[in-house]
Amino acid sequence: MKHNSYFEGKVQSLAVGTTDGPATVGVIEPGKYSFGTDCVEHMHIVAGTIKAKLPGGDWQTFAQGQFFIVPANVKFEVEAAGDVAYLCYYKR
């Protein structure tokens, strides 16, 4: 199983195959991060609350049970005040 660690271990994820395609489950510790996509990503919040700023958009808040879709080949920002658990689907 692939284990990924980013931002000095403050964001970590585990690869999981699903019937909806490849995904990761992960945890984001408190902080502000910039991510880049190489495909469309469906980001589902599993625990906690996150703020996200997609290209051309304003900051929006997403709580447990909500999701947002990130286009391919963009950068986006997230900010977490507490730990956040997520499930991210990669739509290649």
In a 3-state reduction of DSSP, which class is residue 64? coil
Give how far Cα 18 sits from Cα of 21, 23, 50, 53, 60, Å.
5, 7, 23, 27, 27
**How far is Cα 34 from Cα 76, in angstroms, rounded to an integer?**
6
Confirm or reject binding of residue 47 to a copy of itself (CB under 8 A).
Answer: yes
* Smallest gap from residue 55 Cβ to a copy of itself (A): 27
Q: Is 9 helix (H, G, I), strand (E, B) or coil?
A: helix
Give the CB-side neighbour count of residue 66, counting CA atoms within 13 A: 12
Q: Is 83 in the site for a copy of itself (CB under 8 A)?
A: yes
> Which region, judged by CB under 8 A, interacts with a copy of itself, from 32-40, 52-60, 67-75, 77-85?
77-85
Please select the residue that binds a copy of itself; options are 38, 77, 85, 90, rule is CB under 8 A. 85
Closer Cβ to a copy of itself, 29 or 77, answer by number? 29
Residues that bind a copy of itself (CB under 8 A): 1, 3, 5, 9-10, 12-20, 23, 25-27, 29, 46-48, 82-85, 87
